[in-house]
Structure 1
Amino acid sequence: MKRFAVAAFVVVAGLFASSLHAQNTEVRFTVPFNFIVSGKTLPAGTYRIYAHPDSVLIIENVNRPVGALSYISFEGAPSTPQEALVFHKCGDLYFLHEIDSSTTIVNGELPTSKAEKQAGRMVASAAPQNVTIALKK
C-alpha cells in the first residue's frame, strides 16, 4: 500500500510539473487579419503557440482545426519592449516574423519563407513594413 501511495504521488507530481511547463511554453494571441506561416495562410482569429525543444513552433487556431508548423530561432531578450508578435507586411500579405515574449520560452524569429521572399520581390518599390500586435496576458 505504501508503494502505491508513493507511485501515485510521483505520477501526480509529474502531471503537475508538466502542466506548469506547458503554461511556460504557450502564447495566445488574436490576429485581426489573415497571415502566413511557413507558406500556409491562416485566417484571422485567436491562436495559441507552443514551442517544442527542437526549435519547432506549433500554431493552432483555438476555434477551428487550422494551424501551421514552423522553425524558430530562439533569442534571449525580446526585440520590442512589450509582449508582441511582429509581422512583415508585403502589399496585402502579412507574414509572421517574430514572437517577443519575456514571460515564456516562446521568443524568437521565424525564418523567411519562399512566399515572403517572392512577395518582397513583387513589392520591390518598398521594403516590408513591420506590424506589431500585443499578446494577450
Structure 2
Amino acid sequence: MKNLTAIALFVAAGIATAGSALAQDHKVTANVPFNFTVNGRTLPAGHYTIGNDSSSPRTLTISDREKGVAVMAITVPDYRASADNKLVFHRYAGQYFLSEIRTTNESMTCHLPTSKQEKWAKAQTQEASVRDNHDVLIALN
C-alpha cells in the first residue's frame, strides 16, 4: 500500500511539473522612444514588456508598468525564427503602428493585423504623396 501511495505521489508530481513547463510565459522587453498604436489604441513612449503564453499563443500582451498602460492584441503567428530580436513598426506621416515581432524564439514571432486607423493613415500619406512611409526597427532587450 505504501508503494502504491509513493507511485501515485510521484506520478502527480510529474504531471504538475509537466503542466507548469507547458504553460511558461514568453516575454521580451523593448524601449520604444516614440508613441505608437496597437489595435487603434495609442501607447506612449516607454519601456514595454511584450509577452504571450502557451495557453493562448495568439494573444499578445503589451504593457508598461511605470506608465500604467496595457493592451492585448490578437496576432497572426509566424513560425519562422528570426536571426535577431526586434519590433517592426510601420510609419505613416509621423504615426507609428506596431506591425511585427521578430524573435529567435519562434513561439513569439508574429504579425499584427492592420487596423482601420493604420489603413487610413497609409491612405492619407499616399494621397498627399508624402514620402514618410517606412518601417522602423527597435531592438528587443
Q: Which bracket does the TM-score occupy, shorter chain normalised?
A: 0.7 to 0.9
Per-residue deviation, 1:54: 5.5
Structure 1 residues 103 and 54, CA, compared in 2 at 3 Å: closer, same or farther?
Answer: closer
TM-score for the superposition, normalised by structure 1: 0.80
For 1:58, the equivalent position in structure 2 comes to 61
For 2:119, the equivalent position in structure 1 comes to 117
The unaligned stretches of length 5 or more in structure 1 are: none
Per-residue deviation, 1:99: 0.2
- Matches of 1:67 and 1:60 in 2, distance apart? 4
Partner AA of 2:67 in structure 1: R
Structure 1 residues 61 and 104, CA, compared in 2 at 3 Å: closer, same or farther?
Answer: farther
String of CA shifts for 1:10-36, please: whole Å, max 9, x gaps.
Answer: 6973685267x12xx112111011110
Count of paired positions: 131
Q: Which of 13, 19, 23 is the aligned partner of 2:17? A: 13
- Matches of 1:112 and 1:128 in 2, distance apart? 15
For 2:109, the equivalent position in structure 1 comes to 107
Identity %: 32
The unaligned stretches of length 5 or more in structure 2 are: none
For 2:73, the equivalent position in structure 1 comes to 70
TM-score for the superposition, normalised by structure 2: 0.78
**Structure with max Cα Rg:** 2
Structure 1 residues 21-60: aligned runs within 5 Å: 21-22=24-25, 25-52=26-53, 53=56, 55-60=58-63
Per-residue deviation, 1:64: 2.5
